Amino acid sequence: MAKKNTVSINVIGGNAEDVTGSASLITFDNLLILFEFGLIQKGKNIYENYCYNRELIGKVKASKIDYIIVGHTHADHIALIPALYAKGCTAKIIVPKGSYDIMKEMWLDCAYINQRDCDILTAQKEKVFYPFYANEDVYAALNNVIEVEMNNKYSVTDSFHLRFVPAGHILFSAQTELFFTKSNHTKKVLFTSDLGNLNLKNHKLFVEEFEPVINADIVIGEATYASAERTSSKKTLKKDMEKIKTIISQYCVDYKKRVLIPCFALDRLPYMMWILYSLFGTDENFNIPICIDSPLGIRLLRAYKKNIPEEMQQDFSNMLKWKNFKFIEESEDSKAAIADDKSKVILASAGMLTAGRSVKWTQSILPSYMDCIMFIGYCATNTLAYKIKNFSDRSTVSIAGKEINNKASIVDLKSFSSHMQHYDLLNYYSNINAQKIYLIHSNQNDKIQFKEELQNEISRKNKTTKVVAVNRSTVINI
C-alpha cells in the first residue's frame, strides 16, 4: 500500500509490455482504484489466452477495489471487469456517458465466448475449466456503472476527481484526467487509454473529435503505433478508398462473385458500413447485397442508435435504412447466405478471424480464385487473418483442423486503423507539458525505440519531460 500522501500506480496488465490486457492499479489516500481491466489476447491458442487472463485476474483482490475507471469499451480494456464481481467486487464503475449499453453487449458476448472456450478446453484437456464469469456477474457489474459526461469534472471523493476528454478512438472513447488532492496540493495524472487516428477526421463520422490535453504531472500513454513502419496518411486513405470501390466493382459487379470484409463488431463495422454507403449509396444501379453477418455487431448498432450524439443521428439513421444492407442474426440464415455463392459483399466478425461467422465465410471463400477477402486492419501474429495475409504462397491454410485451399484474392488495406499514428503520437506527446511520460500498450522493442525518438523530439522543443518505457516491474510514484 502506498503512503497516504502519495499516488502509486502499477501497470499490472498485458499492456505493460504488449498491446492487449489494459489494467493499472492505483493507490491513493486508502483508496484502491483500477483503471481498466481488459482481456489479454496474445496467446497462440485459447488455452494460452485462458492462462494469461486467469493470471491477471489473480493479481487483483476483487473485494478491495473501491473504484474502476474505464476509458473506452474495447474488450482488451473492459472484458475482465465482470470477473471481479464473480469474486465479490462491489466497486463503482465510472465510464464516459453512452458506454453502458455497449459494455452490456460486449460483456454478455465475452461471457458466452468464455463459456464456449471452457467447454472446448474441458474436452481437450480432460479436466474442468471454469469460465471467469457468467451472465449474472455481468448484471452485477452493470448495476454499479456510473456514466459521466465528457469534459465535466466529476467528484469521486472529496480528494479524488476525474474528467473524461474525447480521445477520438471509437464512439464515447476518452482520455481520463485523474486529480489527486492532499493538503491543498493537487497532482494530475493523464491516462490516454487508446487515442484516435487523426487521418480519419471528417471521414469516420461516428466518433467524437479528439481533443488534446495540454498538461499533466504524469502521462500514461498508449504507444500502439510506436513503430513508424505501421503508419498511414490521408494520401494512403484516399488510395484505399479507391481500392475498395474498384475491388467491389470488379468482383461483385463484373465477376458476380463475393468480397468478404472481416471486421470487428465494435466501431469497425459501422465505419465500414458508412464507407460502403458513401461509395455506393447514391448509385441507383448498384444492387449488390451487403450482408451484415454479425449478431454482436447488430446488437451494438442498436446500442449506437440508442445513444449516438444528436449531431450524428441523421447520418447514422440514413445509413441503416440503405436498401442494400441485409442484416443476418440467426445462424440458419447465415448458413444459407454462405451456401449461396451469388454476388455479395459480406461484413462479418471477428476481424482477425479468431472466431465467429467470419471464419465460416473464410472457409467458403478462400478456396475460390474468383472471390476476394479484403482485410482492413491490424492482425495479431497468432491469428488466422495474419496467416492468410502473410503466407499467400502456401497452397492450403488450416482452419478448424481442416486444410482449406488457398486460392482467393487477398487485399490488405492499412488506412483504417482507429489508433493514432506514429508521427501524430510523437507530436501530441512532445507538446504535453508533463514531468514524465510513461509508454504502455506496445511491444517492448517498438516502445523502446519510440521512447528514444520521443525523448529527442522533446529535447528539440527545449522541454525537460522524461520518457519511460514501462515494463512489468515499473511502479510509478508521485
User: How many Å apart are CA 174 and CA 189, to the nearest integer?
Assistant: 14
Q: Provide the domain count of the chain.
A: 2
What is the pLDDT, as a whole number, of residue 2? 43
Residues in a beta bridge with 410 = 373
Same structural domain for residues 267 and 382? Answer: yes
In a domain, 2, yes or no: no
CATH of the domain at 208: 3.60.15.10
Share of the chain above pLDDT 70, in %: 99
Q: What is the mean pLDDT of residues 305-323?
A: 98
Same domain, 158 and 141: yes
- Residues 180, 260, single domain; the answer is no
Q: What is the mean pLDDT of residues 229-235?
A: 85
Q: Is the pLDDT of residue 4 over 70?
A: no
Each residue's pLDDT tens digit, 154-177: 999 999 999 999 999 999 999 999
Q: Are 301 and 325 in contact (CB under 8 A)?
A: no
- In percent, how much of the chain has pLDDT > 90? 91
Of 394, 412, 430, which one is at a domain's C-terminal end? 412
| Domain termination residue (choose one: 412, 438, 466) | 412
> Residue 99 is which amino acid?
S
CA distance 218 to 190: 6
Predicted confidence at residue 391, as pLDDT, reads 87
Residue pair 142/148 in contact by the 8 Å Cβ criterion: no
Are 183 and 317 members of one domain?
no
Mean pLDDT (whole number) for 426-450: 96
Confidence of residue 393 (pLDDT cuts 50, 70, 90): confident
385 with 432, same domain? Answer: no
Beta carbons within 8 Å of 134's beta carbon, 6+ residues apart: 86, 111, 115
Task: For residue 286, name the pLDDT band (cuts at 50, 70, 90).
Answer: very high
User: What per-residue confidence (pLDDT) applies to 232?
Assistant: 85
Q: Are residues 222 and 238 in the same domain?
A: no
Domain range for 364 is 234-412
| Residues 336 and 393 reside in one and the same domain | yes
Length of the chain, in residues? 478
Instruction: Say if residue 291 is in the same domain as residue 276.
Output: yes
1 belongs to a structural domain: no
Verify that 240 and 269 share a domain, yes or no: yes
Task: At 326, list the grid cell.
Answer: 441485409
Q: What is the CATH number of the domain that holds 402?
A: 3.40.50.10890
What pTM value is reported for the model?
A: 0.96
Given a contact cutoff of 8 angstroms between Cβ atoms, the answer to whether 197 and 423 are in contact is no
**278 and 199 within one domain:** no
- The mean-pLDDT minimum among 229-238, 281-290, 365-374, 410-419 falls in 229-238
CB 182 within 8 A of CB 191: no
Q: What is the β-pairing status of strands 475-477 and 7-11? A: antiparallel
- Give the least confident one: 103-107, 290-294, 305-309, 472-476: 472-476
Q: Would you place residue 1 in the very low, low, confident or very high pLDDT band (cuts 50, 70, 90)?
A: very low
> Residues 341, 426: one domain?
no
Q: Is a pLDDT exceeding 60 seen at residue 5?
A: no
